[in-house]
Amino acid sequence: MELVFLGTGAGVPAKERNVSSAALVMPEHQGEMWLFDCGEATQQQILRTKVTLPKVKHIFISHMHGDHIFGLPGLLGSRSFQVKDEPLTIYGPKGIKRFVQEALRSSNTHLQYPLEIIEVEDGAGYEIGAMTVTVRRLEHGIPCYGYRVSEADKPGTLLVDKLQAEGVEPGPIYKQFKEQATVTLADGRTLNSADFIGDAKKGKHLAVIGDTRLCDAASELARDVDVLVHEATFMDHQAEAARQFHHSTAKQAAETAKAAGAASLILTHISSRYKDSSQDLLVEAQASFANSYLAEDLWSYTF
Contact (Cβ atoms closer than 8 angstroms) between residue 253 and residue 232: yes
- Tell me the C-alpha distance between 203 and 153, whole Å: 4
Active-site residue numbers?
Answer: 67
| Tens-digit pLDDT profile for residues 56-79 | 999 999 999 999 999 999 999 999
pLDDT-derived band at 51, boundaries 50, 70, 90? very high
Strands 205-209 and 190-192 come out as: unpaired
| Tens-digit pLDDT profile for residues 97-137 | 999 999 999 999 999 999 999 999 999 999 999 999 999 99
- For residues 269-288, average pLDDT: 96
| Tens-digit pLDDT profile for residues 181-215 | 999 999 999 999 999 999 989 999 999 999 999 99
Picking from 21-25, 149-153, 155-159, 293-297, which range would have the lowest pLDDT averaged per residue?
A: 155-159
- Give domain limits for the chain: 2-154+201-302, 160-196
pLDDT-derived band at 303, boundaries 50, 70, 90? very high
Q: Which fold has domain 2-154+201-302?
A: Metallo-beta-lactamase; Chain A (3.60.15)
Task: Calculate what percentage of the chain has a pLDDT beyond 90.
Answer: 99
| Tens-digit pLDDT profile for residues 217-259 | 999 999 999 999 999 999 999 999 999 999 999 999 999 999 9
Burial of residue 96 (number of CB atoms within 10 Å: 0-12, 13-18, 19+): buried
User: Looking at residue 23, what is its pLDDT?
Assistant: 98
Measured CA to CA in angstroms, residue 125 lies from 118, 154, 221, 295 at distances of: 12, 20, 12, 27
User: Looking at residue 232, what is its pLDDT?
Assistant: 98
Structural Rg of the chain based on CA atoms? 22
Measured CA to CA in angstroms, residue 72 lies from 9, 90, 216, 234, 274 at distances of: 17, 10, 29, 26, 27
pLDDT-derived band at 80, boundaries 50, 70, 90? very high
User: Looking at residue 301, what is its pLDDT?
Assistant: 98
Query: What average pLDDT does the structure give for the chain?
Result: 97
